Every structure is written in structure tokens, then in C-alpha cells.
Chain A
Amino acid sequence: MDCGTCETASPVLIQKPEVVEVNLTITDNAQSMLEQAFGDDRSMALLVGVLSGGCSGYMYDLQIVETTDIDCQELSISGFRILVPNSSSHLLNGIEIDYEDRLMGGGFKINNPNAKSSCGCGESFA
């Protein structure tokens, strides 16, 4: 077959999403948990990203990082460094990061006004 590598095959145009200046909030519960996770070391940051996949098409990706190669916006909220990748900023503007303290299904939760629907476990959205 001709895979187009021997000559110029036109790549499908990758539509880069618009970069949005992100505003987000962190609930008191989530801030308490972040304080436990970070301790006094505020050089670390919470990376709030989105990956494709999950039951509903997009899934949240939370990581504690020191630095990242990803092109990110850096926010400072209540003394915490929050990193949001520009590539998913349009999906994360206006979110609230919450923490639910439950034996089953607990943990960090994202309340996202951009989500039309979410899957049952809350990890993915559309």
C-alpha cells in the first residue's frame, strides 16, 4: 500500500482547541486534602488535565507534579500551585475541585459546568 511517506500525503488538519484563561475554585474539603498531600512543601503543583477516553469521551487526570513539559497555565489558589494544560483549558474553565470523604467512590471530584453528561463513577464526562 501507499502510506504516503514517500511523498507528501496531506495530513488531516488537527484542529487545535481555543486556549481559554481558566478560572477554577477549590472547595474547603479539597483544600484540606491538598494540605495533607503537599504538607508544607508548596513547590509541588496539582496538575488538572483531561485525557481522551473514559466512558463519556473525556476523563479527568489529576497529578501532583513538580514540573511538567506540558504547555500549562499556572494558577495560584489559596497558596496552592495549580497547573492546567492549555490544550484542555476550554474543557476546564469554571470547574470546582471538590473532595468527597466516603468509603466507596470517595476522593477528588470535579464539578464541571462544561460537561453535558458524566459517567457513573464521575471520572469521565462529555
Chain B
Amino acid sequence: MPRMAYDDAHIIILTGKDRVRFLDGLSSNKIDFQDNQVISTCILSNKAKILGQLHLFNLNEMLVGITITDDFVKLVDYLNMKILGQDVGINDVTKLNYVDLIFDEEISNVEISSKDGCTIVTIEGKYQFEMYSTKLERRPCNTNLEAFNEWRIKHIIPWYGFEISSKKNPYQCGLNSQVHENKGCFTGQEILTRMRTRGKGIYLLTCMENDSLKPDEASTHGKAKSLVLKRGQ
């Protein structure tokens, strides 16, 4: 299967009895774990801009977050600032692990598994993060960002640095599925709810033939097709 080193990811671990409730109040998706489940969510500013995207799963008594952000220090400072006496601890274990991205047409539906010292986390049944200790030998990678982007275009998956940025909210970059509409208050919720109810400012991520593109319209350029964020209704 295509494997790409993904060194842009950080791994944080949240500990303490308040860890789930703490993160639920600060993120756009509902953090309500069923067994062996991965929850993808966004940490938002109070203006609903994306501070970071987290893929969360439980590991023993810890909450692990594969964290994708353009400013990790800012994100951690933000989370730190919100700990007001709750029982929450944050550890950064990025340097202890390699992270690889696996993407293929056929990916296991098991959301969390482990094999040969690797923790394998499947996102929405489409792609996987493999995390393993830096004490192990790095596994050979056989593909690159260009191939990953071609695959993303085919599967219409938004990505940090292309569609997703800290200047946008989830509805502006195709992350609608990571906003829970009925979970109640979370930081940035008021703005997102207003956008949704008024139907304004929401963008849809679509795949288009390059021949039909306007200049600078694509967020991810492919060889024949590209991803485009189009303003919705």
C-alpha cells in the first residue's frame, strides 16, 4: 500500500479525569467515545477559525490526539490557557514517534488496531495514520505528496495547507462532518450555527476537471482533476 512519511503531524496525549469533558467543550465535534472509535474534530478560536484538527482515540486511560495544525505552539498555548483547575494534563510525544500516512482503495474498516509495534488509526474508512516508536527503524516509504494529493482529489478529502488553514472555519473548507450540530455550546459554535441557519458562507469541496477551472480556482491541483472549494447555497 502507498506509504508516505507524515512529519507534519504532532501527537498529544491528554490525561486526567476531566480530559474528555475539557476537549468536548473546546472542539466542534462531539467527543463521546464508543469502544475503539476515532473521532475527528477541530479546535476553534472564538471566531470559529481552525486552530487545529485532531483525530482522537482512547488508549488505556489516555486520550491520544493526532494533531494537524499550522501552529502547534499556539494550539498548545490555547489549550493550556483553558485549563482552569480541571484535572487535565497535556503531553507532547511527537518526538517519540514516527507518523506515516497510508492510503489506498482498500483500507481496513477497523478504526484502531496495532501490529508489529504500530498503532494504526483509520480515518473515516479512507486512510490511515501509522504511529510507531522512533526506537524502531523507520519503515520505507514508497510514495510522495503528489501521489497523495491525486488520491485526495479522487476521494474529495480536504487537507491542511491546501483547503484547511487557520484563516478558515470548518464550513469554509469542507470539514462539515467535523461539526456536530446538536452537541450544545463549544467555542466558535455561535458563528457556525448562524452560518448554517442562514445558509451563508458555507463552501462545498468538489472535484473538477482541470479544463473547466478558472485561474487560481483550485485549492489542490492534480494532473487531470483538481479540488475546488465552491460557495454553497
Binding site for B on A (CB under 8 A): 1-5, 9-15, 17, 49-59, 70-71, 85-88, 91, 117, 119-120, 123-124, 126
Which of B45, B62, B89, B96 counts the most chain A CB atoms within 10 A?
A: B96
A5, A59, A85 pick with most chain B CB within 10 angstroms: A5
A84 to B135, CA, bound (A): 47
Known A1-B97, A1-B132, A85-B85: A59·B185 in contact at CB below 8 Å: yes
**Assembled-state Cα–Cα distance A102/B63 (Å):** 42
A86 to B92, CA, bound (A): 27
Q: Is B85 within 8 A of A55, CB to CB?
A: no
| B residues in contact with A49, CB < 8 Å | 84-85
Stretch of B75-83, B168-176, B225-233 lying at the A interface: B75-83
Q: A2-B133, A55-B46, A117-B46 are in contact. Are A14 and B189 (CB under 8 A)?
A: no
Q: Which residues of A contact B135 (CB under 8 A)?
A: 2
Given A51-B25, A53-B25, A55-B187; A4-B84 close (CB under 8 Å): no
Query: SS class of chain B's interface: helix, strand, loop or mixed?
Result: mixed
Closest chain A residue, CB of each to CB of B134? A2
A123 with B185: CB separation less than 8 A: yes
Q: Which residues of B contact A17 (CB under 8 A)?
A: 81, 84
Asked whether B90 lies within 8 Å of A14 as measured between CB atoms, the reply is yes
Q: Does B188 contact A (CB under 8 A)?
A: yes
- Shortest 8 CB-CB distances between A and B: which pairs? A53-B25, A87-B85, A52-B82, A2-B133, A1-B131, A55-B190, A1-B119, A2-B96
Given A56, A70, A120, which contacts B46 in the complex, CB threshold below 8 Å? A56
Enumerate B75-127 residues with CB–CB distance to A below 8 Å.
Answer: 76-77, 80-86, 89-93, 96-97, 118-119
On whether A11 and B91 interact (CB within 8 A), knowing A2-B96, A2-B134, A120-B190, the answer reads: yes
- Are A53 and B185 in touch, CB under 8 angstroms? yes
What CA separation (Å) do A117 and B45 show in the bound complex? 13
Q: Bound complex: CA of A88 vs CA of B96, how far in Å?
A: 34
Q: B187 and A14: CB pair below 8 A?
A: no
Q: Which residues of B contact A56 (CB under 8 A)?
A: 46, 187, 190
Contact B97 A52 (CB under 8 A): no
Query: Distance (Å) between the CB of B113 and the closest chain A CB?
Result: 12
Does B202 sit at the interface, judged by CB under 8 A?
no
B92 proximity list for chain A (CB < 8 A): 9-10, 12
**Contact A52–B90 (Cβ < 8 Å):** no
26 interchain pairs, CB-CB under 8 A:
A1-B59, A1-B132, A1-B133, A2-B97, A2-B133, A3-B13, A3-B59, A3-B93, A3-B96, A9-B91, A9-B93, A9-B96, A11-B90, A12-B80, A14-B80, A14-B89, A15-B77, A51-B84, A53-B22, A53-B24, A54-B187, A55-B188, A59-B25, A85-B85, A86-B85, A117-B46
- Which residues of A lie under 8 Å from residue B56 when comparing CB positions? none
Instruction: Please state if A14 and B83 are interface contacts (CB–CB under 8 Å).
Output: yes
On chain A, the residues within 8 Å of B85 by CB distance are 49, 70-71, 85-88
- Cβ–Cβ contact A1 & B11, under 8 A: yes
Q: Are A124 and B185 in contact (CB under 8 A)?
A: yes
B77 — which chain A residues lie within 8 A by C-beta?
A: 15
Asked if residues A4 and B91 are in contact (CB atoms below 8 Å), the reply is: yes
Point out the residue from B93, B97, B132, B185 that lies within 8 Å of A55, measured CB to CB.
B185
When distances are taken between beta carbons in the complex, the residues of chain B under 8 Å from A15 are 77, 80-81
